[in-house]
C-alpha cells in the first residue's frame, strides 16, 4: 500500500515535485485559450514583512497589466509552518484566495465548493435544506449554518469558506460561494446572474 511522505524533508521534496506537475497542467489548459500564466509561491514572510508585501503587490500588478494570469500557491517546499504548524497563515486554499484577492484589489472573489452555496442546514443530510441566495452580513446565525456543511475534500469545509469570505468582504470584495462541479456557474457570475450564495461587500470609506 502506497502512503504519502511522513517526514518534513520528504513532504517538502514532494511539494517541490508536485508544483511542476500542477503548473504543467495549468500551462496546458490556459494555452488552449491563448493565455499566459505565471507562478507565485507565498509564505508568511511575504505577507507579514511590509517590504516583501509591497514587492509582491507590484508583481501582481505587473502581471495583470500584461494580461498574464498568476497561479498562486503556498511555498510548501521551503516553509515549515505551512506544512507542519497548526497555526498556519493561510490554513487552506480558501483563505489563500481571499488574501490574494485583497493583494490584487479584486472586485469579486469566487470560492468553489462541492455544494451549491451556503444552506440553512447541511443539504447532505437534510432534504428540506434551503440555499441562501444573498447574505449581507456574516453574523453568528450565518456562521451556525456552516457547521458541519461543505466540502468533503481537502481541509476546507464551509466554516473555513465563511472565514475567507468574511476576510474578503470586510475589505470591500464581493464574494460568491458556488458549486465547482458546474463550470457554467462561473459564466453566470461573470454575467451578473444569480449563482450560489452572494455575500455583499462591506463599504470601505
Intra-chain end-to-end CA distance of the chain, in Å: 57
Does pTM surpass 0.75? yes
6 contact partners, CB below 8 Å, separation of at least 6? none
In a domain, 76, yes or no: yes
In a domain, 45, yes or no: yes
The residue out of 35, 56, 89 marking a domain boundary is: 89
The residue out of 38, 58, 89 marking a domain boundary is: 89
121 contact partners, CB below 8 Å, separation of at least 6? 128, 129, 145, 149
Looking at the fold, whether 121 and 83 belong to one and the same domain comes out as no
In a domain, 119, yes or no: yes
CATH number of 185's domain: 3.40.1160.10
Looking at the fold, whether 133 and 71 belong to one and the same domain comes out as no
R_g of the chain, CA atoms, integer Å: 18
Looking at the fold, whether 112 and 196 belong to one and the same domain comes out as yes
Number of folded domains that form the chain: 2
Looking at the fold, whether 1 and 82 belong to one and the same domain comes out as yes
CA distance 84 to 25: 27
Looking at the fold, whether 125 and 168 belong to one and the same domain comes out as yes
Looking at the fold, whether 64 and 143 belong to one and the same domain comes out as no
In a domain, 38, yes or no: yes
In a domain, 41, yes or no: yes
Neighbours of 98 (CB within 10 A): 26
Half-sphere exposure of 145 (CA within 13 A, CB side): 19
In a domain, 159, yes or no: yes
CA distances from 60 to 19, 28, 87, 140, 148 (A): 19, 21, 26, 34, 35
The runs of H, that is alpha helices, within 32-156 are 44-48, 50-65, 80-84, 93-103, 140-146
Looking at the fold, whether 191 and 163 belong to one and the same domain comes out as yes
Single out the residue of 122, 106, 90, 96 nearest to residue 175, CA to CA.
106
41, 19 contact by CB (below 8 A): yes
CA distances from 76 to 3, 19, 40, 43 (A): 19, 9, 12, 8
Looking at the fold, whether 112 and 184 belong to one and the same domain comes out as yes
Q: Domain limits at 28?
A: 1-89
168, 101 contact by CB (below 8 A): yes
In a domain, 143, yes or no: yes
In a domain, 12, yes or no: yes
Single out the residue of 199, 200, 187, 197 nearest to residue 116, CA to CA.
197
Looking at the fold, whether 10 and 47 belong to one and the same domain comes out as yes
Looking at the fold, whether 13 and 61 belong to one and the same domain comes out as yes
CA distance 175 to 197: 8
The residue out of 63, 89, 115 marking a domain boundary is: 89
Supply the pLDDT for residue 72. 93
Q: What is the pLDDT along the chain (205 residues), one digit of tens a residue?
A: 566 666 666 766 766 776 788 899 999 999 999 999 999 998 888 888 999 999 999 999 999 999 999 999 887 655 545 444 454 556 678 999 999 999 999 999 999 998 899 999 888 888 899 999 999 999 999 988 887 555 544 444 898 999 999 999 999 999 999 999 988 889 999 888 889 999 999 876 5
Amino acid at each position: 500500500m502506497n502512503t504519502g511522505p511522513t517526514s518534513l524533508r520528504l513532504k517538502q521534496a514532494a511539494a517541490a515535485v508536485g508544483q511542476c506537475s500542477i503548473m504543467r497542467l495549468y500551462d496546458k489548459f490556459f494555452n488552449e485559450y491563448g493565455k499566459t500564466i505565471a507562478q507565485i509561491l507565498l509564505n508568511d514572510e511575504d505577507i507579514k514583512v511590509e517590504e516583501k508585501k509591497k514587492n509582491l503587490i507590484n508583481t501582481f500588478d505587473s502581471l495583470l497589466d500584461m494580461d498574464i494570469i498568476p497561479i498562486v500557491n503556498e511555498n510548501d517546499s521551503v516553509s515549515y509552518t505551512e506544512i507542519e504548524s497548526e497555526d498556519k497563515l493561510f490554513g487552506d486554499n480558501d483563505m489563500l484566495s481571499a488574501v490574494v484577492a485583497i493583494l490584487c484589489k479584486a472586485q469579486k472573489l469566487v470560492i468553489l465548493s462541492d455544494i451549491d452555496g451556503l444552506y440553512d442546514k447541511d443539504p447532505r443530510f437534510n432534504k428540506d435544506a434551503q440555499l441562501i441566495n444573498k447574505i449581507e452580513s456574516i453574523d453568528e446565525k450565518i456562521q451556525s449554518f456552516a457547521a458541519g456543511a461543505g466540502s468533503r475534500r481537502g481541509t476546507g469545509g464551509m466554516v473555513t469558506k465563511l472565514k475567507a469570505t468574511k476576510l474578503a468582504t470586510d475589505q470591500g470584495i464581493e464574494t460568491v460561494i458556488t458549486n465547482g462541479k458546474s463550470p457554467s456557474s462561473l459564466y453566470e457570475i461573470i454575467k451578473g446572474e444569480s449563482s450560489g450564495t452572494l455575500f455583499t461587500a462591506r463599504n470601505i470609506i
